[in-house]
Every structure is written in structure tokens, then in C-alpha cells.
Amino acid sequence: MSDNVVTARTGSNSLNIVKNNIVDVIYKIFRAILLFGFCFLIMQPLLDKISVSFMPEVDLYDATVISIPRNFSTDNYKIAMNLMKYWPTLFQSIIIIVISAALQVTSCMLAAYGFARYKFPGRNVLFMCVFLIIIVPPQTILSSLYLNFQFFDIFGIVKLISGRNINLLGTLTGYFLLSATAMGLKSGLYIFLLRQYFRGVPKELEEAAYVDGCGRLHTFGRIMLPDALPMVTSCFLFSFVWQWTDSIFSSLFLRGYMMMPISLSRLTESFFRYWASINAVGSGSGGVMAQPPIGYVQAVVATGMILFLIPLVLLYLVAQRTFVESLSQTGIKM
């Protein structure tokens, strides 16, 4: 009797194990399909642009060509790079944005350290203003920025000395001034992230530095900053990426410079002129300018977008380890 009971229990346990394994396998398959579907939804527009960028005009209007080009060509890249003046624009954009991002992260870091470690009148009110910088879109204050930098002055001192205001629109000075005063694009977010990080650092480290004779600035540079480098690097990457893709401040301050967002936004107009120059019918004022096919225009624009994104992908691949480390530490500190 007891042997039959033991055998029944063993068979029941084995059946439960098999059922659990089957359920586990089905769950893993369902999860894999779901993740693949989400990844495909995210990557599919980019994959389409990559595919179209290698298609000549004949493939764009061939119904049998869907994703893989039949006549593989790099002519779209040559045209887009020529119209965007890619290499000079790329180098100038990198130099300007690196300087701006460095100024922005430095100013945000000092502001965040002050909010995290010092108590002063109006601190909560000022920190609420930081939240307003995060919440309010830059388009809302664009007209105010335009007027302030069109007639730039500091408490009337500049006009008192020179007799007129300074126009900082279209200059690097105005662009760098926003970053150096922690008023650049997404500055409020960087201040918030760095403040949360500094709040998690034990105060005993600062007190020990003060006992050893370090001043406030020396303590910040020798004690706080080295430990915060992963988070600072993360904020620098965010700043670089957002300024790289920004067209608002670039059009306001950098219209006279060769910048990637401006070149990309003008690519359609440049291609129309390029197409008209090589397909003009007739001569003189009576000539008729041929219009480029819309599909071909979109293919060249898609190619320009790929060229626009390549530096960001390379930047992430180089700084991936530091970026992931900073995000994991942020989760712990916050």
C-alpha cells in the first residue's frame, strides 16, 4: 500500500515538473517574440532608411524591390555628403558642440553641488525654477531669448559705456553664454541628476577634507568630482547628443556656421537646386527647371539622416561602458 502511494506521489511530482517546464518554455518563447516585436517596431524605420540610402532611383520605383536593393549603389551618400559639405560641417559641429557641452556640464555641476550641499535663502524657490527649465519647452521662451540676445545688456552697463546694446544673435558668444550660465538645452535635467548624486555622497568625506585644510573649491575638485566622473560623463553625453540634434538654438545663434542640424534641414532645398542644375531644359530665363521625383528626394534626405546619426552611434559605442555605469550608480543614489 505504501509503495503504491509513493509511486503515485512520484508520478504526480514528475507530471508537475513537466508542466512547469512546458509553461516556462512557452513563457520564454512568448517573451522572446514580444521583445523581438518591440525591437522591430523601434528599428524598422531606421532599417528602412538604411535600405533606401543604398537604392538608386530605378530601385525606388521598382515594385519588386522591397528592402534589399537590386542595384546596390552609394551614389546617394556621395550626393548627400556633397550637398551637406559633410566633412567640414562635421568637424566644425564637433568642435563647437564639445566646447558648449563642456561649459554646460561644468556650470550645471557647480549649480548642482550648491543645491546639494549648501543651505541659503531662496534655495527651494531656485530649485523650483530648475524644474521649470525641465518642464517648459524651449519654444516657449524662444521669442524672449531672441529679444534678450538681440539687445543684450547687463543691467544697462553695456549701453551706458558704449551707447548701444550688443547683438549676440548669430554668434558663438551667445551660444556659449547660455551653456556657461546653466541655461542651455536640458540644463535643468543635468542639475537635477547631479544634485541627486551629490546628495548621496557621505558628508563625512567633506568634513574630513575640511579638517585636513582643504577649502571648499579644493574639496569639490579633489574629493567630490573624481567620484562623480561617471555621472558627469553621462550628462556630457546627453548634452552632446541633444545639442547635436537641436535645431532651435542652432538656428538662433549658429545660422552662419556650418552645423549638422542646419545642413540636414537645408538638404531638401539643396537637392532641388542640385537637380535643377543638372536637369535644366533650355537656356536663359526661358529654360524650364525639371523637378526631382519625390521618392528620390526622400531617399537623399534619408541618406543625410544616416550620415547625421553615424557620429552619435560611434560616440555611444566608445562611451557605452561609462554611460551604463553612470546610469546604474544613479539608480542606487536616487
Residue-wise pLDDT tens digits, 33-54: 998 888 888 888 888 899 999 9
Write down the pLDDT at residue 21. 84
Write down the pLDDT at residue 293. 86
Helix-then-strand count for the chain, H and E: 17, 2
Contact 187, 105 (CB under 8 A): no
DSSP state of 201: S
Question: How far is it, in rounded angstroms, from Cα 322 to Cα 316?
Answer: 10
Phi and psi at 281, nearest 5°, equal -105, 125
Residue whose cell numbers read 542640424: 261
Question: How far is it, in rounded angstroms, from Cα 14 to Cα 9?
Answer: 9
**305-309: average pLDDT:** 93
Lowest mean pLDDT among 11-20, 93-102, 234-243: 11-20
Interacting residues of 159 by C-beta distance below 8 A, sequence separation 6+: 153, 165
Write down the pLDDT at residue 143. 86
Interacting residues of 127 by C-beta distance below 8 A, sequence separation 6+: 115, 195
The CA angle 276-282-285, to the nearest 5 degrees, is 80
Write down the pLDDT at residue 282. 47
Per residue in 199-241, pLDDT tens? 887 887 777 878 777 777 878 888 888 888 888 888 998 999 9
pLDDT classification of 105: cutoffs 50, 70, 90 = very high
Question: What is the separation, in whole angstroms, between the first and last Cα of the chain?
Answer: 61
pLDDT classification of 287: cutoffs 50, 70, 90 = very low
pLDDT classification of 98: cutoffs 50, 70, 90 = very high
**51-76: average pLDDT:** 86
Pairing between β-strand 280-281 and β-strand 288-289 as defined by DSSP bridges = antiparallel
Q: Considering the entire predicted model, what is its pTM?
A: 0.81
Write down the pLDDT at residue 12. 64
